Every structure is written in structure tokens, then in C-alpha cells.
Amino acid sequence: MKPESARTLWIFALILALIGLMIPNPSGRFFFIVAAALTALAPAIFAAGRARIGGMLACALSLALAAISFPSMLKDQTAYAERVQKKIHGIGTSPPAEPDDQKCEEPVSLAQLIGNPDAYHGKALWVVAHVTIEFENMTACPSATATQMKQCLWLQIDDGPYNTDQDYARYQSKRNVWEQYGHQTVAIHTTFDKTERGHFSMWPGGLRRVTEMSGSRNGWRFTANAIVPRAACQLQPPQ
């Protein structure tokens, strides 16, 4: 390597390191310092004489600064990942219920909703149902054995929109939670919609605007889950 080229590289490496030290963001600072170390590596290995010594000193200095900056960079990246996860899980969800709103209303049976749709249309209520979470088959049924479409309701686990990557991430996050409770009996706080009939309009109605869903634990005690935080809620099984 020519002495002039080597000298230019290790001087440029020092400039990169200096710029990195002036950047307040830990991740940006670490990036520039590592770039400085890589830039100085070539003259440190391939140059000769003073140019090589300059490259070695610039590379050693950059590596030392990188080692010092690494913990803060790692902490910054961890915090960023947590913020992204919170943002994804927070999209389209309702705020936690207030402490004085922890009592569960009396659940409405699916038979009541199907038999008298006009009376319950647009109302927020609790239902207890056996859910199926499958492709084009998301349903809430009275039990594991009563699964005919005329006995069940379409279950809209996410109300959209479905236009962007964020929308897809929100939907997938909710579906991942729901799939943990597939083919189980759950309590759902939702809004009944007599016009939501699912694929090919094959169901007598649907459940949408789900603000809370809890799986059964220890009998009929329902506890908080990842969709909406909430204190334990005691419901009685439908008779």
C-alpha cells in the first residue's frame, strides 16, 4: 500500500472516530467508531513504516472506544426493540379497564344473540364460547360439540384496516394470541353485529370490536391476557 494512501486512511479513521464521539445516540456513535476501526485496519496490516504505525494506533484507539461504547449501544438497541413491540401490540387495542370497572357483566348466550339479533345488535356484551381459529373459519360456538354454523357466530378477531405493514403486524399479533386459545372455551367482551356474517355470509351474525378475551383457568376464573390487561374476572358457565 502506498504511504500516501495509508496515511489518508488512518487520518480518515480518526475523523470518523471523532465524529462518532460527538454523536449523542449510542447506536450511531458505535456505528461510526466501528467504521473508523475498519478503515484503519487496512493501513495497520498492509502499510509500512510510519503509515503502518499510524494505522495501528488509529485502529487500536477505535477498538478501545468501541469496547467502551458497546454496553450503551446494546442497551439502546434493547430499548428500541421493546418500544417497537409495545407499538405493535398497542395498535388497535383499547385502554385497560379502570379499577372500578372490574366486575364482569352477566354473559349473554349465543342462542340469545342468534334468536333475537335486533335486540342485541351493536351492543357491547360478554359471551362465553368455544372458539375455532383457523383460516376462513373463525367462529364462536356454544360448545365443542355444537359447531353447526346456524348455532355459531363469526368471530372477527381484528376489525382492520388491512392496508399497511403495520396493519398486518397488528393482525398477526392478535392472531398469535387467539391461536393459543383455539378449540377452547373463552370469555369474550365484544360487540354483537347481526350484519357480520363471515365468509360467504354463512353465519347468522358475528362478534366484532373485541376489547378483551380471556381463557379459562382453574374452572371458570378468567384472568388477564396479552390483548387487554385486566384483573381476574369471575364468570359462571352458561346453563
* Every domain of the chain and the residues it spans: 3-90, 99-234
Residue 234 pairs in a beta bridge with 221
Query: Quick check: pTM over 0.85?
Result: no
CB contact at 8 A, 20 and 31? yes
The span from the CA of 132 to the CA of 138, in Å, is: 5
The span from the CA of 8 to the CA of 192, in Å, is: 71
pLDDT band of 104, cuts 50, 70, 90: low
Average pLDDT, stretch 39-67? Answer: 86
pLDDT band of 226, cuts 50, 70, 90: very low
pLDDT at position 151: 94
Higher pLDDT, 160 or 231: 160
Is the predicted pLDDT of residue 236 greater than 70, yes or no?
A: no
The span from the CA of 51 to the CA of 7, in Å, is: 5
Which runs of consecutive H residues, i.e. helices, occur in the chain?
A: 3-22, 26-46, 49-90, 110-115, 117-120, 165-179
CB contact at 8 A, 210 and 160? no
How large a percentage of the chain has pLDDT more than 70? Answer: 80
pLDDT band of 100, cuts 50, 70, 90: very low
Is the predicted pLDDT of residue 134 greater than 70, yes or no?
A: yes
Per-residue pLDDT of 20-36, as tens digits, reads: 888 888 888 888 998 88
Cell (9 digits) for 11: 487520518
Per-residue pLDDT of 160-172, as tens digits, reads: 888 888 888 888 8
Q: Which of 189, 180, 168, 187 shows the shortest CA–CA distance to 125?
A: 189
Higher pLDDT, 100 or 158: 158
Looking at domain 99-234, its CATH class is mainly beta
Average pLDDT, stretch 55-60? Answer: 87
pLDDT at position 86: 67
Q: What's the CA angle centered on 157, arms 155 and 163, to 5 degrees?
A: 125
The span from the CA of 25 to the CA of 43, in Å, is: 29
The span from the CA of 87 to the CA of 92, in Å, is: 10
